[in-house]
Amino acid sequence: LDPSKIDDPELRAAVELAGHIARGDSDAARQLVAHSTMHKEEQERKKREEIQRVQESLAGKTLADPKFASEVKDSMLAAMIAAGIISGPNDPKWHTMSAEQAAKLLSESDLDPSKVSDPAVRRALLLAKRIASGDHTAAQELVAHHRVHHEEQVKAAMKKYAGKTLADPQFNGAVKQSMMAAMMAAGLISGPNDPKWLSMSAQDAAKALAASGLDPSKVSDPAVRKALLLAKRIAAGDLHAARELVAHHEVHHERHKRARRHAEVQEAKKELANKHLTDPSFNAKTKNAMLRALFKAGIIKDPNDPRWLSMTAEEAAKMLHDAGLDPSKIDDPELRAAVEL
């Protein structure tokens, strides 16, 4: 790789220093680690500044404003699923509750923010009690965090679809799939097996959705609302809109999937309420879960190596903790949970 052709400063530094580090140059290694640390700190600083900018733009917004209240409520959706309060965006309870009611239920849940890797979900849990009491500043802060975090995820997801066009059958199918829930909400199809749906292209679906008359502001599912907002542009062949919709759909789908899994894990955890690490059998099960995580993370090569079998759960956990892995960057749910815990 030619470092002069690389825009990403962290990658460029790694390429430039790789040869030196390969020869055992400790100074080059220190330089790379320092560069990586500075890059992460700079990214975090920019993110904080963007959140502050968005929050300032929301000054004066209150929960009496239906549009703002709806966005506040949307910002708690994944947290509500993770807490096991609702099953998803189509849960009838979700449709009928206000932002303050959602915040009250969330604040009363036993979901621990420190055990949650999704920063948007964690922020919702931390601010729920204040929002439930009508604190507009807390509501503005939550929306700002959610907007910035969500857009960051969408931008990352969109990179995968760079250059994709609706002439590509696989991408066309993904765009179409991103509109299915909206098509059902608009009463245009009965479901995924509706003959009309099966014969449509993405642009056909977008055209029908754009002409449906369904008001996005009356829709509680943010993924459905995004499909309605972008339908007209997609129907006209706007590829950026198509890529944006697929990315939004993917981010929402993955976030809700992780939240549902979290809720299922919390339910299963109740059955283990009386188990403790002093119980040899439970300690061994915990250790085995940690060893699987260490193996998945590439920290150990063989979880059955005798060196690891003599470890306790606490020792295996310390080994994983000391690796310094970022759970928010991990897709595997078992590994992510092990790193978090």
Dump pLDDT digits (tens) for 200-221. Answer: 999 999 999 999 999 998 887 8
Six token digits for residue 114: 């420190």
pLDDT at 258: 84
Six token digits for residue 80: 């509500």
One-letter amino acid at 290 equals M
275-304: average pLDDT: 89
pLDDT at 90: 85
- The string of pLDDT tens digits covering residues 173-205 is 999 999 999 999 999 999 999 999 999 999 999
Six token digits for residue 218: 């009356």
pLDDT at 56: 96
Does residue 256 register a pLDDT over 90? no
Contact between residue 276 and residue 282 where contact means Cβ atoms under 8 Å apart: yes
Q: Which residues of 12-48 are buried (b: 16+ CB within 10 A; e: fewer)?
A: bbbbbbeeebeeeeeebeebbeebeeeeeeeeeeeee
Secondary structure string (H, E, C) spanning 236-288: CCCHHHHHHHHHHHHHHHHHHHHHHHHHHHHHHHHCCCCCCCCCHHHHHHHHH
One-letter amino acid at 255 equals R
- The string of pLDDT tens digits covering residues 17-76 is 888 899 998 998 999 899 888 888 888 899 899 999 999 999 999 999 999 999 999 999
pTM for the model: 0.72
- Backbone phi and psi for residue 187, each to the nearest 5 degrees, phi listed first: 75, 20
Q: How many C-beta atoms surround the C-beta of residue 235 within 10 A?
A: 19
pLDDT at 127: 97
Q: What is the DSSP letter of 7?
A: -
Q: How many C-beta atoms surround the C-beta of residue 197 within 10 A?
A: 20
Does residue 96 register a pLDDT over 80? yes
Q: What is the DSSP letter of 114?
A: G
The rounded mean pLDDT for the chain is 91
Q: In angstroms, how far is CA 41 from the centroid of its own chain?
A: 21
Confidence of residue 99 (pLDDT cuts 50, 70, 90): very high
Does residue 101 register a pLDDT over 90? yes
pLDDT at 167: 94
Q: How many C-beta atoms surround the C-beta of residue 336 within 10 A?
A: 22
Q: In angstroms, how far is CA 142 from the centroid of its own chain?
A: 15
Six token digits for residue 36: 């990586």
Q: What is the DSSP letter of 190?
A: S
State the helix-helix crossing angle for 99-107 and 66-74, rounded to 10 degrees. 30
SS3 116: coil
Contact between residue 47 and residue 152 where contact means Cβ atoms under 8 Å apart: yes
Environment class of residue 228 by beta-carbon count within 10 Å: exposed (0-12), middle (13-18) or buried (19+)?
A: buried
